[in-house]
Amino acid sequence: MSYELYILVLLMAVCGLVFVLTRLLSVRLHQAMGLSADVNSMMSHALGMRQWYVIEYDLTTMCLRNHFGQLLPDNGLTPDELLMHVDDAQRELIRETVKKVRLGQTDKAEIRLTWNATPAAPDARLFLNGHALLERDDVGTPRFVVFAMRDETTKVEEELRNIDMANRYKTIFDINIVAMSFYGPDGILIDANRMMKQLCSFEDKGEEFFRQISLFDTPSLRNDYDRNSHDTLHVCQHMRYPEVGIDKYIEFRVMPTFNDDGELVYYVVTARDITDGRLLYLQQHRNDLELQATNAAIGHYERELRYLLEKSNMLVWRSYPQRRTIEFSHSLNTCDFSITFDEYVNYMYEDERPTALAALAAKDGKYMSFNVVHHFYKTPIENTPKWFAISGLPLNDDKGSIVGHFGVLRDITPLMNAMEKLRKETQRAENSGIQKSTFLANMTHEIRTPLNAIVGFSDLLPMIDNEEEKRELIRIIRNNCDMLFRLINDILEASNIDSKPLDIMPADVDFAQAFDDICQTLAQRVQEPGVEFVKENPYDTFPTHLDKGRMQQVITNFVTNAVKYTHQGHIKVGYRRTPLSEALSVKNKELAAAIPSTEGLLIYCEDTGAGIPKEQQAAVFDRFVKLNEYVQGTGLGLSICKAIANQLGGKIGVFSEGEGCGSTFWFWMPMNQPQETSTH
């Protein structure tokens, strides 16, 4: 009997406890519903009291208007006008935030701003807090940005009351959606809500398992929970119960609840399944690692690309015809500098510009690929002429529309310079080949002429009995031998000029005496009846240090050249020691200007022969140049004289008024030190 009474009392106690708990939950639920209704009523009342402002930003008209409340003028404001009402420090942040929403980068962004009622009265301020929301049309295109902002300048007490109500509402809401169960002081399960039953698989074997095992004997809490503690335990663990087929990761709290006397009444356990979140986190972590590796690889490739572009003198370029600009870069995602179409073509030489504009522009409404080479007289980087090889192909936007060109630009200035040098060298080689062919033909004729004379007159010599005629024949033979000797000597000298410098062997010489000896020999070559050979030796003695043989070679070539072209008048050869300051004759003012100012030895040969046209005077000292093909000579003597002048650091030139006016050839070489001379 006592046993049954004990059971009856226990059942009544349990029923009473269940009734109390149910009543307590019912009361709290009614309170929560009442508070929720009060909050909704207060929110509606707040909107009616103009504490909320809703502003609509039309992305088509770019105008902001009141949607709720009277914050803006009736005719609305532009974005710039609206920002004039905002503190300076907030304008840029608001501009960037609205830009992200307007471009669709986010559909919602928080907005905090301090609103000045008018620029004239900045002290009249409203502190607004809300969000910017993006509204799209039926096809998904951004159409409006809606700003819902609350006036936070109301009384603090009302704000705190609203916050308290919101927290209570949130607490009730969290209890409804979070798995929750009640355990007695002994750790035995009393009840669990729907979310907890689902979490613990009550539909299968879970309910029997969890009702038989104490809370403190579960693997999650065994030996880890202090039952004397009044603190809430919050932990994340691996919930693995093979007995009921549970293998999850959960986040749970154990909250001990005490009565007014400080006695433990029950434990409230809340739990949340974070298995999917954990998997998502792990996947996100793996994605982050892959993204970091990808970004590192992209950065590596970009550095390699930039290195290759810089070292190969190449740039990536993009054209934008609507803006009429061209952007240049050493990589694919940056812009190093930008220029307009007009600047681009104005950097080119004028004859290049039509081709450049035609390549950039659309032909018959279509953009075409192209490869061109342009010559620029300067660039945005260097103020020097440059050659660039430019290739481009049509550039498409995200919608497939062609918006310009994309390509590479390569500096080929060294290549073009090399090609130009090669062209000149090729032309020079071709000219050299022609000159060599002409030279060989001339050599055949020049060598044959004295040889024929030598052989012919040598054959006649035994048949002549008259001594005077024999002497004449011998003189002719000797002249031709001398001519052949000088011809061969000139050829040998000319062949060595390019390969090695001329041999210069200076010695102490009395040039006055040496000059007389040279002229005595050269006078015999002037045999034209109407031509007088004149020698001008202004000094009795002229001791100096020079190569007598080379000076004789210069004078001989001057006189020989004069003999060929002078058939009437005179051939005058002379020398003098002269600086530039010494006055020359009126006829030779140009000659004086050409002589360096330092003191030196001037040798000249004046003739009254055919003369030289002014346009041909610069070429007479080149090899194989003959101004008159009907006059015997190889065109080597004067070029050898020029080589001697260059070797001695001197100058050489010719003065002539033109055809039929005679010529004056001159040679000047510096003197290392003053010389003692005596004049006539």
Structural element, H or E, at residue 478 = helix 467-497
pLDDT: which is higher, 573 or 475: 573
Q: Are 607 and 572 in contact (CB under 8 A)?
A: yes
Q: How many other CB atoms sit within 10 Å of the CB of residue 270?
A: 20
CA distance 180 to 197: 9
Which fold would CATH assign to domain 501-679?
A: Heat Shock Protein 90 (3.30.565)
CATH 3.40.50.1000 matches 45-154: no
pLDDT band at 193 (very low <50, low <70, confident <90, very high): confident
Instruction: Summarize the confidence of residues 397-405 as an average pLDDT.
Output: 76
Residue 377: φ, ψ to 5°: -80, -15
Same fold, 178-273 and 501-679: no
Determine whether 634 is exposed, middle or buried from the number of CB atoms within 10 Å of its CB (0-12, 13-18, 19+).
Answer: buried
Q: What is the CA radius of gyration of the chain?
A: 56
The CATH class of 312-411 is alpha beta
Q: Are 187 and 279 in contact (CB under 8 A)?
A: no
Strand-pair category, 539-541 with 402-411: unpaired
Residue in 279, 268, 80 with CA at minimum distance from that of residue 190: 268
pLDDT given at position 174: 46
* For residue 587, pLDDT beyond 70: no
- In this prediction the pTM is 0.36
Structural element, H or E, at residue 222 = none
Q: Where are the domains positioned within the chain?
A: 45-154, 178-273, 312-411, 501-679
Enumerate the β-bridge partners of residue 429: none
Instruction: Summarize the confidence of residues 597-605 as an average pLDDT.
Output: 83
CA distance 644 to 554: 8
CA distance 410 to 316: 9
328-373: per-residue pLDDT in tens? Answer: 887 777 788 888 888 888 888 888 888 887 777 765 556 677 888 8
Question: Given CA atoms 437, 442, 445, 450 in this order, what sign does their dihedral have?
Answer: negative
Q: How many other CB atoms sit within 10 Å of the CB of residue 192?
A: 23
* For residue 563, pLDDT beyond 50: yes
- Superfamily of the domain at 178-273: PAS domain (3.30.450.20)
Q: Which bin fits 658, alpha (ψ -120 to 50), beta or left (φ > 0)?
A: left
Determine whether 5 is exposed, middle or buried from the number of CB atoms within 10 Å of its CB (0-12, 13-18, 19+).
Answer: exposed
464-500: per-residue pLDDT in tens? Answer: 878 887 787 787 777 678 767 766 776 666 666 555 6
CA distance 476 to 479: 5
Output the 3-class SS for 652-670. EEEECCCCCCCEEEEEEEE
Q: In 582-650, which ranges are E strands? A: 600-607
The CA distances from residue 72 to 67, 122, 143, in Å, are 10, 15, 20
CA distance 636 to 618: 15
* For residue 169, pLDDT beyond 60: no
